[in-house]
Amino acid sequence: MLLQKLIYETKNKLQRVVNLENSKRLATGVKCFSERHTRRKRKFEVKNQLSEVETVVSVIAPKI
């Protein structure tokens, strides 16, 4: 139960970061290619972390 709560909180935090990046991009607009590139890269890294968390959940959850 504790593990499930931890996983749930981690997924929520990562999703908030993705949403924050999206809202920043919409609010400020795209200023230059390099800025757009770094934002995409950061967003992609966060999505990778999110998928890693989901993978861990799918592996560990059946064993609990």
pLDDT digits (tens, 9 = 90+) for 19-56: 777 776 666 655 556 666 777 777 788 778 878 877 87
The pTM (predicted TM-score) of the whole model is 0.42
Q: Is 30 helix (H, G, I), strand (E, B) or coil?
A: coil
CB half-sphere exposure, 64, CA atoms < 13 A: 10
Assess contact for 39 and 25: CB atoms under 8 A.
yes
- Full domain range(s) for residue 13: 2-63
What is the pLDDT, as a whole number, of residue 53?
78
Q: Provide the number of structural domains found in the chain.
A: 1
What is the pLDDT, as a whole number, of residue 20?
75
